[in-house]
Amino acid sequence: MNNKPLVSVITPFFNAEKFFEEAIESVIAQTSEHWELLLVDDGSTDKSTQIAQKYARQYPENIRYLEHENHQNRGKSTSRNLGITHAKGEYIALLDADDVFLPQKLEQQVPILESQPETGMVYGPTLYWYGWTGKASDMQRDYLANLGVKPNTLFQPPMLLTLFLKYPGMLPCTCGLLARRQVVEETGGFDETIQHMYEDQVFLAKICLKSPVFVEGGCWDKYRQHPDSSSYVAIRAGEYHPFKPHPVRLIFLNWLGEYISAQKVQDSELWQAHHKALWPYRHPRLSTFVTPAQYLITLIAGRVKWLVRQTLYAYAKKPGFSEKC
């Protein structure tokens, strides 16, 4: 393996022992050998610290263990930035401790950025993974996220950010992206004033404003759905709701308004999308009726598209089927 890895995979973790080894093994199983894995301990008190240190000893050339001073808990954004600071690769990949990469992720994503020097990031649709339990009923719930845009397309800034504001459901998962390290550093990495929920959207917003982004059609990761994930915990705590205004999104929208103002962005469509996203918070009584209806329409449309794709795929697998038909 090269002394200077081509891709630096950043995995922050906090009390992640249940799924941690599976995440690490998914990096080791990559068909590309040009990677390093930085395991960033965010003050864990369970066995995940020992798991990370074990892998760092077992693979000293490829895996490194990092922690904050005095084993502090500093948050996801600060932990990812610590990993980015110590990264040696030309590209940055992000993997949460409960998710997994598919084996060809790095081998297939790197050539896309290598062949497009102007592109700052590439991502594809993520598999929302319920079937990790092994139960047939859960496997049937697995679905591929709807990209919301034409795949294999290069988007100039700030087009994707505008679309993300209009259609939050098309946001990519961090484990599905690969970013150019130079672009990540130029945008300042993760904003450490936002540590819990929407820290990924802040990161994506900064890159989508800075650099062209390529959206690919291939799936390279699995996003594990389980009751202890940060999003499910936030729902139970009342901090997050999939189709109602919630305080965490308002924090993000306020941050975004200040950020695009500071960047002196003049794009009228982006500003209109931002104002529209803020509307439910400025008119909470009206949004009680309007916002859920809008969400349900979007959700139903996405599921219909998924069912159509699945039906066409099943039909194509039937004996005697010809693409000429």
What burial class does residue 219 get, using C-beta atoms within 10 Å of its C-beta: 0-12 exposed, 13-18 middle, 19+ buried? middle
Helix (H) or strand (E) holding 159: helix 159-166
Question: pLDDT tens across 245-300, in order?
Answer: 888 899 999 999 999 999 999 999 999 999 999 998 988 766 565 555 555 665 56
Check if the beta carbon of residue 168 is closer than 8 Å to that of residue 280: no
pLDDT reported for residue 323: 40
pLDDT reported for residue 158: 97
pLDDT reported for residue 110: 96
Check if the beta carbon of residue 113 is closer than 8 Å to that of residue 207: no
Please report, for the chain, the start and end positions of each structural domain, with discontinuous segments joined by +. 7-236, 247-316
Lowest mean pLDDT among 85-94, 122-131, 233-242: 233-242
Position with higher pLDDT, 5 vs 178: 178
Position with higher pLDDT, 230 vs 158: 158
Among residues of the chain, what percentage have pLDDT more than 70? 85
pTM recorded for the entire structure: 0.86
- Distance between CA atoms of residues 43 and 71, nearest Å: 5
Q: What angle do CA 117, 77, 90 make, to 5 degrees?
A: 25
pLDDT reported for residue 325: 34
DSSP, res 40: E
Lowest mean pLDDT among 5-9, 79-83, 193-197, 302-306: 302-306
- In this structure, which CATH number among 3.40.309.10, 3.90.550.10, 3.30.465.10, 1.10.730.10 belongs to the domain 7-236? 3.90.550.10
